[in-house]
Amino acid sequence: MQVEEVDEEEEGDEEMEEEFKKKPNPGNEPCFKVIVTNENGLQASNPNSIFLIDHAWTYRVEHARQQLLHVPGLLHRMTNLMGIDFHGEIPDEGSIEQVLREMWKYNQTYQLSQGTAEEKVPVWYIMDEFGSRIQHSDQPSFATAPLFYIPQQIAYTVLWPLRDLETGDEVTRDYAYGETDRLIRKCVLLPWVPTEVLDVNCFTPEPSDEHYQAILAENKEKLPIAINPPVYDKDKVFKVFTDIQQVLNNLTHPRFVFTDNEGKADILYNFSHFKDYRKLSEERPEVMLNQFPCENLLTVKDCLASISRRAGGPDGPRWLPRTFNLQTELPQFISYFQQRDRRGEDNHWICKPWNLARSLDTHITNSLNNIIRHRESSPKVVCKYIENPVLFHREDVGMVKFDIRYVVLLRSVKPLKLYIYDVFWLRFSNRAFSLDDLDDYEKHFTVMNYAPGVTLKQVHCEEFIPLFEKQYPEYPWTMVQANIFKAFAELFQVASAKPAPLGICDYPSSRAIYAVDLMLKWDTSRDGKRIMQPQILEVNFNPDCDRACKYHPTFFNDVFSTLFLDETDSCHVTCIV
């Protein structure tokens, strides 16, 4: 096989050709195709008709800019491969920006199935000049797949024919492999075949009941049978079985003792997700635990967006950034993006995996191609990036983004009983905010306690409130916090409004602690006033309570008293529902 440069006038895929003509300045970059040169052609059944393609560049998105800047020869090779003019020896910002924009037409992806959460973050790669010049066809002659060769710890792309080919036949592959729906294919191919989908209604109603049934089945969670709420002696000492070190180190309340015997425990306080509620409800209904069946409706980002629509209709409530599930709502998202683009509205978005924390594999962009391609790496939602956040003045840096974490205690679903821990936690960016340098982690993200060599700015909430009120004297914290609590109450009300698996299951022996992360953004109220609108970012299952225990030694005593004893008088909690 060999690569050939082709004239744009040559015959090709008609639909693609028609769309290509609509592009601004078609033909700016050279066009290539790969053809079969073997004089006997290639037979699909021949084991020698399987080929390996090298990868020119393998990287994670957050490292792309730095690698283009510092890896010798990389920028030069990528500009050549992508048909971008670059004549200098020293990397320049303009060329780097062009590569970062164009690379989404060349990127492929895989992820490792084992290792730490960091090691499982998707890897992106660009095939060598040969592989990158294999063109798209809806009726491809070849297929490709990444192959990770463990002895060499290196990945290749395997290329094999789907049918017998003759000399001169073109080597093509399907850029939307596996997509059979015509509209979805059109959307997935948009990076190469620009098109508008403005005729698609961008409303995203709540998914069907079957959608939630499928999630339950996929999670392998077995719902409990109906039980009577257990009744305990007034002075009972509860045996706690837990694998959470922070609980073992900090729970000192006299009404709780630890046991290593799970079978004799009164309370199961597990770090990992509990699955078989049916068996527990049948055999040991009196045993309490720190989880609710179907709580993933809160803690998994696509589900959080779905159930929140019960409060705000298809656009979602005001307290949640506009969110689309890229797996199921891609056409609606593209339509919404293109409509905003036409109206000249801000189009910065943040792509997040459904179920990862600590900002892993999370990317901010205003590139539609970038967002569409991220759909291939792992299930993701895309949320409107908050372009007008309420900022906090740091003496050493200037006006920075910050987010707030509240610990929420869910005592019961029916009746809904919800408490907030009285201390909240703050996280700050390390660089002054502006809507540029979107891959600058310390400007756009606030999670600094897991990043090596990065400054972690800590301000206690009691210190924060007077500083905040000094910066924003028209917005007393009690008023801001009342709106935050109102948003939390609404969220948990809609999350428990329907029976499981459409809502959090009403299991009388369940209790739970969650961390809700939020930001504040500038908005306009219905009567035209400028307001600080809470924006719920995510709800975390079994949050890291290290800072809580360090600065508030009675934290877990308060949590256990509230959840398992119904004693809140001497605890640092506030009931909001």
Tell me what the mean pLDDT of segment 142-167 comes to: 95
Q: Are 450 and 546 in contact (CB under 8 A)?
A: no
Q: What's the pLDDT score for residue 29?
A: 56
- HSE, side-chain direction, 13 A CA sphere, residue 567: 10
Is the preceding peptide bond at 501 cis, omega within 30 degrees of 0?
A: yes
User: Is the distance from CB of 286 to CB of 266 less than 8 angstroms?
Assistant: yes
* Continuous H helices in 24-73: 64-70
Report the amino acid identity of residue 424: F
Q: What is the pLDDT of residue 6?
A: 81
Question: How far apart, in whole angstroms, are the C-alpha atoms of residue 185 and residue 179?
Answer: 6
pLDDT digits 0-9 by tens, 241-293:
999 999 999 999 999 999 999 999 999 999 999 999 999 999 999 999 999 99
Compute the average pLDDT of residues 361-386: 96
- The mean per-residue pLDDT over the stretch 495-524 comes to 98
Residue 406 has pLDDT above 50, yes or no: yes
pLDDT band at residue 22, thresholds of 50, 70 and 90?
Answer: very low
pTM: 0.92
Confidence of residue 117 (pLDDT cuts 50, 70, 90): confident
Report which listed range, 105-119, 443-457, 460-474, is most confident: 460-474
pLDDT at residue 15 above 60?
no
Paired strand residues for 381: 325, 352
Q: What is the mean pLDDT of residues 376-384?
A: 95
Report the first-to-last Cα separation within the chain, whole angstroms. 69
Mean local confidence (pLDDT), 377-388: 96
Cβ-proximal residues to 192 (8 Å cutoff; 6+ apart), any chain:
16, 105, 136, 175
- pLDDT above 90: residue 355: no
List, for residues 476-494, the tens digit of each pLDDT value.
999 999 999 999 999 999 9
